A and B are shown apart, each in its own frame.
With several copies, the nearest count.
Chain A
Amino acid sequence: MQQFANPARFLKIANAVLPFVWTVTVILFVIGLYGALVSSPADYQQGETVRIMFVHVPAAWMAMFVYSVMALASAVAIIFRHPLADVAAKTAAPIGAVFCFLALATGSLWGKPMWGAWWVWDARLTSMFVLMLLYLGYIAIWQAIEEPGRAAMIARIVALVGFINIPVIKFSVDWWNSLHQPASVFKMGGPSIDASMLWPLLVMGLAYTFLFLALHLVCMRSELAQRKLRTILIARGRAN
């Protein structure tokens, strides 16, 4: 893993794979959206609104996935002192926040017809809301602390401490009584939703994942560029 340590090499790799990642993303979205909007039937009770699912569910998955990535990166940063880990965690946060917001927004759009309310305080929605807060808090920390090294360490701790929330979201529906759909894809004994809906859902999930990968690489690249710039400026300030 140390061979990626050197940012220069990372940049080389990133630049190499990015075009590939982008193309895969586009292709997956095309297939997924076709499956979601055209081939799959409207739900017999939910009607056309069911199609929101193909935006909502993957977004929700990503919101949790990205936070886990942040937590993992933070752990790596603490254990292996890997120079890129902090950059990875820091740049993942805003992207994850957007996914989280998307899940919340589409969810509440879906909620209006389904539950007759934009928002209900059931376990999953609440914990998802809390996840949004954690994203905001994490981002705030990076802004609030001037000294980079210090900010990095504090941010790692925030990410790891907040990770407790992820299992809570995943299993909240089973713990507390909830209006929300129980897990129907990732659960014991295989998925329980119709195949015609399942495959587009999974493809969309994959598409989202690649989208994240692409965006993440781009953000990491610019973050590294900024840090380079900063050190140069400081060196100049030191010189005169």
Chain B
Amino acid sequence: MRPLLSLMRRDLTLATRQGGGAGTALGFFLAVLVLLPIGLGPDQFTLQRLAPGILWITLLLSVLLSADRIFQQDYEDGSLEIMAMSSQPLELVVLAKALSHWLSTSLPLAIAAPFLGVLLNLATEIIWPLLLAMVLGSVALSLIACVGASLTLNLRRGGLLISVLVLPLYVPVLVFGLSASTGSVELVTPSLLILSAIALASLVLAPLAAAAALRAYLK
């Protein structure tokens, strides 16, 4: 346990020291949030109606782009090799890194997003369902992003290729997350359950896939 905890601590420290962890991600989130209304037209009612979708899409993109280099630095400076040699299973290493990414970036975004919804005058009664759905969904988003990051490790243009590979996997999260947060006012909906199922599944499967990909790059 200690090794993985120290790994998480290190990643969290790095996230805050270099490029300011949640800060940057939040910045990106806001930047896109400004852009979208300009592009889609400032019409109040349209915006209000589209608000949840806009927030979800922005969340997806922020998480994806904040994770695209999650393994790259460890790969380039040789840390990953040493971790792979150690007695810690690489799957757990991936999980630890994914979780620290979630803590440092996705979770703060997921919590902030619904309240930033006021910028799009989001209907206030949606805020809580949205919050719940996003917190759940962000787990899956972080983990899936890790799979993409491991597949495109150190490819120039990785940043884009990862999107092509990962965004398709994001579609279910988006669909069910959206319906969970807009479908109805009561909190626990079928979609929410499916969402949690997706989150759990990715908790198990993503580390396996990512670890396999990393091994391929190390060999």
A interface with B by C-beta (< 8 Å): 108, 117-122, 126-127, 129-130, 132-134, 136-137, 140-141, 143-145, 149-150, 153-154, 157-158, 160-162, 164-165, 168, 176
B interface SS class = helix
- In angstroms, Cα B155 to Cα A56, docked, is 37
**Which B residues lie within 8 Å of A137 (CB)?**
27, 161, 164-165, 168
By Cβ-Cβ distance, the 3 closest A-B pairs, closest first, are: A153-B216, A121-B42, A121-B37
Q: Is there an interface contact between A150 and B219, defined as CB atoms closer than 8 Å?
A: yes
Of B20, B27, B152, B217, the residue contacting A133 (CB under 8 A) is B27
**Which B residues lie within 8 Å of A143 (CB)?**
19-20, 23
Taking the closest CB of chain A, its distance from the CB of B120, in whole angstroms, is 8
**Which A residues lie within 8 Å of B147 (CB)?**
161
Beyond the given A119-B118, A154-B151, could you list 12 further A-B residue pairs with CB under 8 A, ordered by the A residue number? A108-B118, A127-B171, A130-B171, A137-B164, A141-B161, A153-B212, A153-B216, A158-B165, A161-B165, A162-B165, A164-B169, A168-B172
Known A117-B44, A118-B118, A120-B42: A140·B164 in contact at CB below 8 Å: yes
Of A118, A144, A150, the residue contacting B121 (CB under 8 A) is A118
Q: Is there an interface contact between A157 and B30, defined as CB atoms closer than 8 Å?
A: no
Taking the closest CB of chain A, its distance from the CB of B216, in whole angstroms, is 4
Taking the closest CB of chain B, its distance from the CB of A14, in whole angstroms, is 29
| B87 interface residue (CB < 8 Å to A) | no
Of A126, A157, A162, the residue contacting B34 (CB under 8 A) is A126
> CB within 8 Å of A: which of B92-149?
118-121, 147
Of B37, B119, B168, B175, the residue contacting A162 (CB under 8 A) is B168
Taking the closest CB of chain B, its distance from the CB of A148, in whole angstroms, is 12
Known A126-B34, A137-B27: A120·B219 in contact at CB below 8 Å: no
Known A121-B37, A157-B213: A165·B168 in contact at CB below 8 Å: yes
Q: Is there an interface contact between A119 and B172, defined as CB atoms closer than 8 Å?
A: no
A interface SS class = helix
**Which B residues lie within 8 Å of A118 (CB)?**
118-119, 121
Interface range for B: 35 or more
Q: What would 15 A/B residue contacts be, using CB atoms closer than 8 Å?
A: A108-B118, A122-B42, A130-B168, A130-B171, A136-B23, A137-B161, A140-B23, A144-B18, A144-B152, A144-B157, A149-B216, A150-B216, A153-B215, A162-B168, A168-B172
Q: Is there an interface contact between B47 and A121, defined as CB atoms closer than 8 Å?
A: yes
**Which B residues lie within 8 Å of A133 (CB)?**
27, 30-31, 34, 164, 167-168
Taking the closest CB of chain B, its distance from the CB of A136, in whole angstroms, is 5
Known A126-B38, A127-B171, A149-B219: A140·B213 in contact at CB below 8 Å: no
**Which A residues lie within 8 Å of B169 (CB)?**
161, 164
| B24 interface residue (CB < 8 Å to A) | yes
- In angstroms, Cα B119 to Cα A42, docked, is 28
Q: Is there an interface contact between B20 and A140, defined as CB atoms closer than 8 Å?
A: yes
Q: Is there an interface contact between B213 and A144, defined as CB atoms closer than 8 Å?
A: no
Of A119, A122, A136, A153, the residue contacting B213 (CB under 8 A) is A153
**Which B residues lie within 8 Å of A134 (CB)?**
165, 168
Known A133-B168, A153-B216, A154-B216: A144·B19 in contact at CB below 8 Å: yes
Taking the closest CB of chain B, its distance from the CB of A112, in whole angstroms, is 10
- In angstroms, Cα B119 to Cα A132, docked, is 14
**Which A residues lie within 8 Å of B213 (CB)?**
153-154, 157
| B209 interface residue (CB < 8 Å to A) | yes
**Which A residues lie within 8 Å of B47 (CB)?**
121
- In angstroms, Cα B119 to Cα A153, docked, is 34
- In angstroms, Cα B167 to Cα A133, docked, is 9
